[in-house]
Amino acid sequence: MSSHLHNLALFLGHFHPVLVHLPIGSLVLLGVLELLTVFPRFKDAARNKEVILGFATASSAAAAACGWLLSRSGGYDAALLYWHRLAGLGVVGVCAMTWLLCLLNQQRAGRVSLMATLVLVVLAGHFGGQMSHGRDFLARYAPAPLRRLLGGKVQPRQARPVPADPAQRRPFAEVIQPILQSRCWPCHGPEKRKGSLCMESRETLLHGGENGPAIVPGKADESLMIRRLLLPRGHDDHMPPDGKPQPTPAEIGLLQWWINAGAPDDGIIGDLNPPAEVLRMLEAMPGDSR
């Protein structure tokens, strides 16, 4: 595929997050209207359901087509992409069947089919959320019993909380990784690896992606991660992309200091003799909230 066609495919693919809300809203609206028909006062609430279902079928097909184009950009977890795509195609097919049943005046079968469509919408949305935000996106902040039910990880109680004294914190696990998780993982985390780059651990940063290692221990100025962070916001290679949450100057400063200190993964901050400015930046970081 030529670069022009590739760019056109990605341009159209980026409409997927917009279009996908149209069938969701239409189908949820129709589900509410069908429930209202139980009450005599609202017995005609769903009289325009043929129009709503027609719109939902067309918009779901358009969203699925754009989603397929977007998936060609790569970087998505293969298993999640498979299930998201399967559920999305299921929405299109079952929604079309629901529309046909409605046109044939098969009321009972149509309602069962509508319920199945709504279940598929939930599944497609769930897998889509996991692709974009991680497998535990829905369960991340849920209470522990509900988190288990949703398939999230129940974190064991830590042996120690993040120390209030910055000098006692572990450099990667308690300083650098939280910055990467909030700023970089949406595109370079355990689930989504744009450019084959994962920034989950020191090892994956050293391994890098299509453009080489993300960090060069001892040399922040030569580290690709820092060079991309310092590019002007409007530059094509600036990271995170414009429109995504940007790291603060203090967070960038901590990343630079950590790399220049050799990118250590063990020990504590105090062992690295950090300058007073670094300690001030660390003191301003939020502590552990778990």
Residue 4's pLDDT is 77
CA gap 131, 222 in Å, rounded: 31
- Give the best-scoring range by mean pLDDT among 9-18, 40-49, 106-115, 162-171: 106-115
Mean pLDDT of the 210-236 span: 93
Identify the bridge partners of residue 265 per DSSP, sorted by sequence position: none
Residue 153's pLDDT is 57
Cis status, amide bond into 240, omega within 30 of 0: yes
Going by C-alpha positions, the residue among 44, 56, 54 that lies closest to residue 103 is: 54
User: Residue 157 above 80 pLDDT?
Assistant: no
Higher pLDDT, 176 or 236: 176
Q: Which residue has the tokens 């989504």?
A: 192
Residue 73's pLDDT is 77
Residue 142's pLDDT is 72
The full 3-state SS of 3-23, as one line of letters, equals HHHHHHHHHHHCCHHHHCHHH
Grade residue 101 by pLDDT with cuts at 50, 70 and 90.
very high
Grade residue 72 by pLDDT with cuts at 50, 70 and 90.
confident
Mean pLDDT of the 84-107 span: 96
Grade residue 233 by pLDDT with cuts at 50, 70 and 90.
confident
Going by C-alpha positions, the residue among 95, 147, 137, 138 that lies closest to residue 120 is: 95
CA gap 21, 240 in Å, rounded: 25
Residue 9's pLDDT is 85
Going by C-alpha positions, the residue among 114, 113, 52, 121 that lies closest to residue 89 is: 121
Residue 116's pLDDT is 96
Query: How many other C-beta atoms can be found within 10 angstroms of the C-beta atom of residue 274?
Result: 20
Residue 244's pLDDT is 81
3-class SS of residue 86 = helix
Q: How far is CA 249 from CA 126, 233, 246, 281, in A?
A: 34, 13, 9, 10
Residue 78's pLDDT is 80
182, 245 in Cβ contact below 8 A?
yes
Q: How far is CA 254 from CA 239, 245, 278, in A?
A: 16, 17, 7
Q: In the structure encoding, which two tokens stand for residue 9, read together?
A: 């495919």
Q: Which residue has the tokens 């918009």?
A: 59
113, 96 in Cβ contact below 8 A?
no
Grade residue 159 by pLDDT with cuts at 50, 70 and 90.
low
Higher pLDDT, 3 or 222: 222
Q: Which residues contact 122 (CB under 8 A, 6 or more apart)?
A: none
107, 62 in Cβ contact below 8 A?
no
Grade residue 166 by pLDDT with cuts at 50, 70 and 90.
confident
CA gap 175, 266 in Å, rounded: 12
Residue 218's pLDDT is 95
